[in-house]
Amino acid sequence: MKIVIAMLKHETNTFSPLPTPLESLGPDGEPLRGEAAYAHFKGTRIPMGAFIDLAEEIGAEIVIPIAARTAPSGPVAQAAFEQVTQVICDCVAEGCDALFLDLHGAMVTDDYEDGEGELLERIRKAAPDIPIGVGLDFHANMSARMVRNCDVAVGYKTYPHMDMYEAGWRAGELLLDMIAGKIAPRLSFANCPVMPNILRQATDEAPMKDIMARATALETGSVLAVSVFPGFPLADTPHTRLSVLTVTDGSEGEGDKVCHELLDLAWTRREEFIYENESFIDGVARAKKLDEGPVILLDMADNCNSGGTLDSMALVREALNQGLDNILAGPIYDPEAAAHLVNAGIGGEVTVPVGGKFDFTAIERPGEPLVLTGRVKTISDGRFIVQGPVFTGMQVDLGRTVVFDTGPMRIVVCEGRVEPLDLDMFRFVGLDPLGYKYIVLKSKIQYRPTFGAIAKHVVECNAVGVGSADFSQFPYKAVTRPIYPLDRDASFGDKR
């Protein structure tokens, strides 16, 4: 048996100023292929890792034509999409017994609002009889076109994403069962006009905790897999919204029933998907009064795993202005400042503008660098392996990375963009997060199993960035209206 395994994984923030060219879709300036892709993803706890393990378990021949991924950013360059798609289509057209795909589900390209729908349709056209199984992110903005053009699809059930491997494994396993004639999978798909705030999507809290518990309970008998996708609201597309997808054995009616029950549940809980917060200036003032650290100042608006630039300095600036001390901050994506600091050498005293290199045109805010004076503490090549439990085993490459000591703050400045979701993000450069009163952390929910576990307090600060939790800042144009909560009078079926 010959199994093709491929990845084109991107969560697109259509408001992000960061470009997504082909060179960004792999660790060394191009997407990984063949042996290099195998070596990179074998052993990781993501769908690619699961697909490889599953194929090896049944003794299949594995072909990995291409594996392209990067942190969330603006729309994928059309040329990059065309090239990666062509490589996958050419490979399956040569003949294989199955295709396992590791996709996100909220990819937008320069020309296509439904990147995965276009990709899957082209693959189907290139090789109409090849069974296709897909692993999807919890934040997928699912489209009917995606569903029409694959045989099996399974999304993560957790946020923070703790079950990426399991979701991939389940998708692969169901596809193999189909090929063996043990099951006849049917997909059911439906959505409702709700755009949940990302800050209200954590699966260890209501309402998603209850919705996911019900989804899991419904996976019984002929219902083989139930995926609930709250969606990615920072991708402005017609299909951006909460949706449900089921895989059932044979009966479509059963799947439709499950979809509608879960959508009804989500709709009745819609008010709980709204996130409201104090101003970040008030948040910092509140943090200042807390006695015990570490206190996490959560810089959610600049979370790079929502498409943030990772270089917004608004929260750091405010913390310094209000006189906070013993601060750990970073990483900040600023290749120019990193190069300047590396050139100064360890011990070098430098005054340098840090961050603020990108203008946030979509939300009408210019980039605002923060001029800092301090001493270079540490210089590193920026490479380490994630300990987990989120993205366990993934190799991280921050590029040249510097610890810059400004007195009240130690700030990590680097050439790469990676969300700080692992304690080793600071430990690898000799910084122990436990030793600091305040940690300015650019994350939303994924930090919880690691930094959340060591924090005495978390102050959620919605400062400045294209990952903002405040929908009213964004000029939505493509999303299908009415949708809750942009339109508070939206209705679903006959329900208001």
DSSP string, 424-456: HHHHTTT--GGG-SEEEE--SSTTIIIIIHH-S
- For the bound state, the minimum distance from the C-beta of residue 278 to Zn ion, rounded and expressed in Å, comes to 26
Distances (CA, A) of 148 to 118, 128, 132, 137, 357: 11, 12, 11, 18, 42
Of 139 and 448, nearer to Zn ion (C-beta) is 139
Distances (CA, A) of 9 to 53, 208, 226: 19, 24, 21
- For the bound state, the minimum distance from the C-beta of residue 446 to Zn ion, rounded and expressed in Å, comes to 8
Binding mask 100-139 for Zn ion (x = CB under 5 A): -------------------------------------xxx
What is the footprint of Zn ion within residues 227-246 (CB under 5 A)?
none
Of 302 and 334, nearer to Zn ion (C-beta) is 302
E strands present in 203-284: 223-229, 242-249
- For the bound state, the minimum distance from the C-beta of residue 161 to Zn ion, rounded and expressed in Å, comes to 6
- For the bound state, the minimum distance from the C-beta of residue 106 to Zn ion, rounded and expressed in Å, comes to 8
- For the bound state, the minimum distance from the C-beta of residue 134 to Zn ion, rounded and expressed in Å, comes to 15
Of 45 and 437, nearer to Zn ion (C-beta) is 45
- For the bound state, the minimum distance from the C-beta of residue 307 to Zn ion, rounded and expressed in Å, comes to 12
Rounded Cα gap, residues 272 and 34, in angstroms: 45
Of 141 and 312, nearer to Zn ion (C-beta) is 141
What is the footprint of Zn ion within residues 273-332 (CB under 5 A)?
none
- For the bound state, the minimum distance from the C-beta of residue 120 to Zn ion, rounded and expressed in Å, comes to 19
Backbone φ and ψ of 401, nearest 5°: -130, 135
- For the bound state, the minimum distance from the C-beta of residue 405 to Zn ion, rounded and expressed in Å, comes to 34
Rounded Cα gap, residues 290 and 489, in angstroms: 40
Of 137 and 254, nearer to Zn ion (C-beta) is 137
| Beta-carbon-side half-sphere exposure of residue 34 (alpha carbons within 13 Å) | 1
Size of the site for Zn ion (CB under 5 A): 3
> Closest Cα to residue 333, out of 306, 291, 302, 297?
302
Q: Are 3 and 62 in contact (CB under 8 A)?
A: yes
- For the bound state, the minimum distance from the C-beta of residue 109 to Zn ion, rounded and expressed in Å, comes to 19
Of 159 and 428, nearer to Zn ion (C-beta) is 159
Give the number of other CB atoms < 10 A from CB of residue 347.
Answer: 8
What is the footprint of Zn ion within residues 18-47 (CB under 5 A)?
none
Of 137 and 311, nearer to Zn ion (C-beta) is 137
Of 126 and 202, nearer to Zn ion (C-beta) is 202
Residue nearest to Zn ion (CB): 139
Q: What percentage of the chain's residues is helix, strand, coil (to nearest 5)? A: 30, 25, 45
Of 140 and 338, nearer to Zn ion (C-beta) is 140
Tokens 């910092």 -> residue: 284
Rounded Cα gap, residues 111 and 135, in angstroms: 24
Q: Does 419 bind Zn ion (CB under 5 A)?
A: no
Of 138 and 333, nearer to Zn ion (C-beta) is 138
What is the footprint of Zn ion within residues 352-371 (CB under 5 A)?
none
Q: Are 230 and 208 in contact (CB under 8 A)?
A: yes
Of 306 and 401, nearer to Zn ion (C-beta) is 306
Binding mask 372-411 for Zn ion (x = CB under 5 A): ----------------------------------------
Q: Are 229 and 242 in contact (CB under 8 A)?
A: yes
Rounded Cα gap, residues 453 and 461, in angstroms: 18
> Closest Cα to residue 141, out of 265, 47, 228?
228
- For the bound state, the minimum distance from the C-beta of residue 24 to Zn ion, rounded and expressed in Å, comes to 18
Q: Are 409 and 431 in contact (CB under 8 A)?
A: no
- For the bound state, the minimum distance from the C-beta of residue 414 to Zn ion, rounded and expressed in Å, comes to 23
Instruction: State the Rg of the chain over Cα.
Output: 22
Of 72 and 382, nearer to Zn ion (C-beta) is 72
- For the bound state, the minimum distance from the C-beta of residue 160 to Zn ion, rounded and expressed in Å, comes to 9
What is the footprint of Zn ion within residues 133-152 (CB under 5 A)?
137-139
Q: Are 333 and 418 in contact (CB under 8 A)?
A: no
Of the chain, the end-to-end C-alpha distance in Å amounts to 51
DSSP string, 362-383: GGTB----EEEEEEEEEEE--E
Binding mask 462-491 for Zn ion (x = CB under 5 A): ------------------------------
Which parts of this chain interact with Zn ion (CB under 5 A)?
137-139
